[in-house]
Amino acid sequence: MTVPTTAPLAQPATPLRQSGLSGLPPRPHHAWRTVGIVVALGAFTTLTLMPAIGGIQLDFTALVRNWSNSLPTIRQLLRPDFAFLPRTIAPMAETLEMAVAGAAFAAIVSIPITLWAARPSNPNPFTRQLVRFIININRAVPDLVFAIVLVAMLGVGALPGFVTLFLFDLGVVVKLVSEAIDSSDHDYIEAGRAAGGTQTQINRVTVLPQSWTLYANQWLYSLELNVRISAILGIVGAGGIGRLLDERRGFYAYNDVSIIILEILVAVIVIEFASNALRKKLR
C-alpha cells in the first residue's frame, strides 16, 4: 500500500490507539448493564415458577409418570384412518372459504382505514389517533375470544368464523401497512399539496399506487394466518374443520383426528408456499 505523502488523511495506517489522536472519545462500556439485564430476566423467570409466591406450578415429573397413558393415543395418531377422509372434505372447504372470504373483505375495508391510520396520508392527529386507538383495541382481543362472543351473538356456523377472521385481519393489515407507510418517504405528497389537491385526492392518485405492494404483502400474510386460525375456530363453534376435530376428539377417535391434523398441515403448507411465491413476485 503506497501512502501519498501529500495527503495527511491517509496516515491511519497505524492503529488508532497509537496514533496519538487527541480528540478520540473514550469508548463507552456497557458490560455491567448487560449483566444486570440478564440477571434481572433470569430472576423474573425463576419467580414466575415459584408457586409459593403465586407463580405457576410446573410438575415435570408428570411427564414421566403419565407417559405410558399417552402411548395408545400416540399409536392411534400414527395410524391415520384414510377412510375418514371423505367426511372431512366439506368442513375443510368451509374452513378455506372462511379464510379467503375473511381475508378478502378485510383487504377491501383495510384500504381507506390504513390510509387514515398513517401519518403521511392523514396529517390530522385527532382522527389518526382515533383510528389507531380503535384498531389497537381490536388487536388486543384474542381471536378465540372474538369467536366465542360472536358465536353467542350470531349462532353456531361459518358466519361468526368469517367475522372473527375479518376483524383479526383488519387489525393485522391496518397496523402493519400503516406503519410501513409511516416509515417510508413520500415527497410526492408535497407536490400534490402544491398543486392544490385535497388529502383524499393525493392519497387516491399517489399514496395508494405507491403502497400497493405493502398492502398486497400483508393481505397474503393475513390469508396465511387465516388458514391456520380458521382450522381451530370450529372448536368454539365458529364453523369449519375445527368442529369436526373437536367432535372426533370427544369420541377419542384419534386416528380420525390424525387425518384432520394432516389435512390442516397440508393446507397451511400449500397456502404458505403459494403466498411466498406471490410475495416474491411483488418485490
| Contact between residue 160 and residue 237 where contact means Cβ atoms under 8 Å apart | yes
**Does position 110 bind other proteins by CB under 8 A?**
no
Question: Is the Cβ of residue 46 or residue 200 nearer to other proteins in the bound state?
Answer: 200
Greatest Cα pair distance, the chain, in angstroms, is: 88
Helix (H, G, I), strand (E, B), or coil: what is residue 156? coil
- Give the residue, chosen from 8, 62, 195, 250, that forms a contact with other proteins under the rule CB under 8 A: 195
Minimum distance, C-beta of residue 123 to other proteins, in the bound complex (Å): 13
- Give the residue, chosen from 132, 139, 193, 279, that forms a contact with other proteins under the rule CB under 8 A: 193
**Does position 56 bind other proteins by CB under 8 A?**
no
| Contact between residue 264 and residue 231 where contact means Cβ atoms under 8 Å apart | yes
Question: Is the Cβ of residue 164 or residue 218 nearer to other proteins in the bound state?
Answer: 218
User: d(Cα 205, Cα 84) in Å, to the nearest integer?
Assistant: 53
- Give the residue, chosen from 198, 252, 265, 277, that forms a contact with other proteins under the rule CB under 8 A: 198
CA dihedral 186, 192, 193, 194 (to 10 degrees): 110
Size of the site for other proteins (CB under 8 A): 22
Q: Which three cell numbers stand for residue 173?
A: 393489515
Minimum distance, C-beta of residue 208 to other proteins, in the bound complex (Å): 9
DSSP state of 205: I
Of the listed pieces 91-99, 100-108, 115-123, 183-191, which binds other proteins according to CB under 8 A? 183-191
Helix (H, G, I), strand (E, B), or coil: what is residue 51? helix
Q: Which three cell numbers stand for residue 194?
A: 402544491
Minimum distance, C-beta of residue 202 to other proteins, in the bound complex (Å): 8
Phi and psi (nearest 5°) for 251?
-90, 10
Question: Is the Cβ of residue 29 or residue 281 nearer to other proteins in the bound state?
Answer: 281
Of the listed pieces 93-101, 124-132, 196-204, 262-270, which binds other proteins according to CB under 8 A? 196-204
**Does position 196 bind other proteins by CB under 8 A?**
yes
Q: Which three cell numbers stand for residue 122?
A: 392523514
- Give the residue, chosen from 191, 265, 269, 282, that forms a contact with other proteins under the rule CB under 8 A: 191
Question: Is the Cβ of residue 34 or residue 201 nearer to other proteins in the bound state?
Answer: 201
| Contact between residue 110 and residue 146 where contact means Cβ atoms under 8 Å apart | no
Burial (CB count <10 Å: 0-12, 13-18, 19+), residue 265: exposed
- Give the residue, chosen from 128, 154, 180, 188, that forms a contact with other proteins under the rule CB under 8 A: 188
Minimum distance, C-beta of residue 253 to other proteins, in the bound complex (Å): 53
Cell 375470544 found at = 145
**Does position 249 bind other proteins by CB under 8 A?**
no
| Contact between residue 272 and residue 224 where contact means Cβ atoms under 8 Å apart | yes
Binding mask 200-219 for other proteins (x = CB under 8 A): xxx-xxxx-xx-xx------
Q: Contact residues for other proteins (CB under 8 A)? A: 187-188, 190-198, 200-202, 204-207, 209-210, 212-213
